[in-house]
Amino acid sequence: MNVVLGVGGGIAAYKAAELSRLLQERGITVQVVMTVSAQKFITPLTFAALTNRKVITDLFSDRGGDEVLSSAVEHIRVAQDNQLLVIAPATADLIAKMALGQADDFLSTLYLAFTGPVVIAPAMNTNMWNHVAVRNNVETLRARGHVIVEPGEGLLACGTTGPGRLAEPAMIAQEVSRELFGPKDLEGDVVLVTAGPTEEPIDPVRFIGNRSSGKMGYAIAEAALRRGARVILISGPTNIAAPVGLEFIRVGSAAEMHSAVMEKLGAANIVIKAAAVADYRVLNASTQKIKKTAARLTLELEPNPDILAEIGAMKGDRILIGFAAETENMVAEAKRKMLAKNCDMVVGNVVNQAGTGFGADENAVTLVLRTGEVVEVARASKREVAGWILDQVGRLRLVG
Ligand code: PMT
């Protein structure tokens, strides 16, 4: 396997040397490409010695004659010869260039010419990382299906404390391996995933909603896509850009989600319901904005259709995975929902612990399987949890 390691200009550039070594230990051939600023932090010689290959530093070499012509198309050759592009550290500038499609040096030009998987490990000052422009650019890249290896938190070289530190090289190497050697066990499957909250209108300007961000469901959809499935993602309102490479349907209310799921159900052989669907909607929602008065206001609610239970009742050969968001008795509730809604597995999710569940980047879940097994999944990123959930599909297939 051949991988391009793109090194951006940040203080963490020296850690890319360790990354190149770790990748080679996994039997991967590494071609290093450095930006001009990266060379201010670490010399190409270090990478040339570590990888035993010439490091690419320029879009146009100054060697003259025919070599200029061949270097002008070198980014195309490098794009064709490598199976993955990993960028570490990815600076705010590099991330912006990739998001915009700006190509003014070898690495950014190679990025546009490259069609394989891309792993991006950002590193920068905390305020820069939190800046809305960087957040938006990162989300654009994530929506393209690129893997973002989130920066860690800690004391940064600039003296501030917070997120922005390059992820550990071992973690980046693990993500690269997962992309290169991960299972393609869902090839031929059609996976329908629901994600995010629903919004139940009270009047034209107000609604009843919940705290779901969609992160868990989107992570599952993207993981299924990486494992070779055709994916249909039906999402309530979220701030996450629609991922590319899958069929994406945006809905508002539970009733809209119900219609979209029922319309697409026939195509799917695996259904995963991570959405936080409102159990009730407002009866006779007002068509005009409700005026404020001194009097109390009572909203009458009526039950929404239980989409999961409805699918369970007509499940056929499908594999059906539901979620159970609980604040107490999680395993018992997950088991109860699994039987009541005829699921093959229910992902039990405690949702009253800081740092996991609704809105968080991490989750801690317990998988309750129809086989009677109960699998505790340690607290981890939603991306990793998504992988563990999909790992169970193979087992559920075996038991029929
Ligand atoms: O979106 P994030 O911020 O990443 O947060 C993730 C999450 C906490 C929302 C997710 O991990 C999760 O737990 N999702 C299920 C939330 C939920 O609605 O749980 P529930 O126990 O109320 O519902 C049980 C199951 O029935 C769920 O699969 C749900 O999608 C489904 N359901 C519920 C009600 C309804 N009317 N129709 C349904 O299909």
In the numeric block, which tokens belong to residue 219?
A: 């992570």
Pairing of strands 84-90, 118-122: parallel
Q: Are residues 238 and 334 in the same domain?
A: yes
Regarding the beta carbon of 219 and ligand 1, being less than 6 Å apart is answered no
Q: Ligand 1 centre from 191 Cα, in Å?
A: 17
Question: What distances in angstroms separate CA 193 from CA 217, 231, 269, 347, one per listed residue?
Answer: 7, 7, 11, 14
Q: How many domains does the chain have?
A: 2
Contact present, 148 and 142 (Cβ < 8 Å): yes
Q: Which pLDDT score is estimated for 66?
A: 52
In the numeric block, which tokens belong to residue 235?
A: 């999402």
CATH number at residue 142: 3.40.50.1950
Contact present, 16 and 89 (Cβ < 8 Å): yes
Regarding the beta carbon of 358 and ligand 1, being less than 6 Å apart is answered yes
Ligand 1 atom at minimum distance from 360 CA: 3
Q: What is the value of pTM for the model shown?
A: 0.85
Regarding the beta carbon of 218 and ligand 1, being less than 6 Å apart is answered no
Regarding the beta carbon of 173 and ligand 1, being less than 6 Å apart is answered no
Q: Are residues 349 and 202 in the same domain?
A: yes
Q: Are residues 272 and 336 in the same domain?
A: yes
Q: Which pLDDT score is estimated for 310?
A: 98
Q: Are residues 151 and 196 in the same domain?
A: no
Distance CA 332, CA 51 (A): 53
Q: Which pLDDT score is estimated for 67?
A: 54
Distance CA 219, CA 42 (A): 35
Q: Are residues 163 and 204 in the same domain?
A: no
Query: Positive or negative, the Cα torsion across 116, 31, 18, 106?
Result: negative
- Render 84-153 in DSSP notation, one character per residue: EEEEEEE-HHHHHHHHHT---SHHHHHHHH--S-EEEEE---HHHHHSHHHHHHHHHHHHTTPEE-PPEE
CATH number at residue 297: 3.40.50.10300
Q: Which pLDDT score is estimated for 72?
A: 61
Q: Ligand 1 centre from 289 Cα, in Å?
A: 29
Q: Ligand 1 centre from 274 Cα, in Å?
A: 5
Q: Are residues 145 and 109 in the same domain?
A: yes
Q: Are residues 127 and 254 in the same domain?
A: no
Regarding the beta carbon of 321 and ligand 1, being less than 6 Å apart is answered no
Distance CA 164, CA 322 (A): 35
Residue in 308, 310, 329 to alter for ligand 1 test, most ligand atoms within 8 A of Cβ: 308
Q: Which pLDDT score is estimated for 76?
A: 87
Q: Using alpha carbons, select from 356, 369, 365 the residue that is nearest to residue 395.
A: 369
Q: Ligand 1 centre from 84 Cα, in Å?
A: 35
| Range(s) of the domain holding residue 143 | 2-181
> What are the residue ranges in the chain where pLDDT is below 70?
61-72, 400
Q: Outline where the chain has alpha helix (H).
A: 15-25, 38-41, 44-51, 66-72, 74-81, 92-100, 106-113, 126-130, 132-143, 169-181, 215-226, 254-264, 307-313, 330-340, 382-399
Point out the residues that are catalytic: 158
Ligand 1 atom at minimum distance from 194 CA: 30
Ligand 1 atom at minimum distance from 275 CA: 30
Q: Which pLDDT score is estimated for 71?
A: 59
The DSSP output letter for 358 is: T
Q: Ligand 1 centre from 315 Cα, in Å?
A: 18
Residue in 234, 239, 277 to alter for ligand 1 test, most ligand atoms within 8 A of Cβ: 277
Regarding the beta carbon of 213 and ligand 1, being less than 6 Å apart is answered yes
Domain boundary among 120, 147, 181: 181
Residue in 212, 253, 310 to alter for ligand 1 test, most ligand atoms within 8 A of Cβ: 212
For residue 270, what are the β-bridge partners? 191, 319
